[in-house]
Amino acid sequence: MMRAKEGGGTFDNPYALGSAEAFSWYEFRWQLDYKLAWNGGQLIAIPPQNTSRTCPCCGQIAKQNRLSPLRFACVECDFKGGADVVGAINFLRAGHARLACAETSPAIGASGQEPTEVTQASRTA
């Protein structure tokens, strides 16, 4: 698979750096986790489901909240903003929730479940 081209220079290799087919999200995530751990950091993986459809103000999840790939407008509370900003806010909140779970239960770690809301019945008990 790997052979030098006539005239020297580059290689004909589909796994060469810069090849789109060779890009691996798994490898990227593994390298990022490794480098963060090496420098005292921690990687917190957040599932992307509904992060761009959830309103950061009222929590409403709806496909209709996305007006376009770039614009967000909540159908419930009329919050408006950039879709990337809304997604970033939701990712940040999910990361904080995971860290809060990890701090209260070190056995769970940062990959534990997100905290659930306290119900009225459990507050009075």
Domain total in the chain:
1
55 lies in a domain? yes
20 lies in a domain? no
pLDDT tens for residues 33-56? 999 999 998 888 888 899 999 999
Let me know: does 94 contact 50? Beta carbons within 8 Å. no
6 lies in a domain? no
Q: Which amino acid is at 22?
A: A
88 lies in a domain? yes
pLDDT tens for residues 80-99? 999 999 999 999 999 898 88
Q: Which of 15-19, 43-47, 121-125 is predicted least confidently? A: 121-125
37-46: long-range pairs with CB below 8 Å, 24+ = 42/110, 44/95, 44/98, 44/99, 44/110, 44/111, 45/111, 46/91, 46/94, 46/95, 46/98
93 lies in a domain? yes
115 lies in a domain? no
Task: Tell me which residue range forms the domain holding 51.
Answer: 47-109
118 lies in a domain? no
Locate 37 and state its tokens: 């751990």
Residues of the chain above pLDDT 90, percent: 38
pLDDT at residue 84, rounded to an integer: 93
24 lies in a domain? no
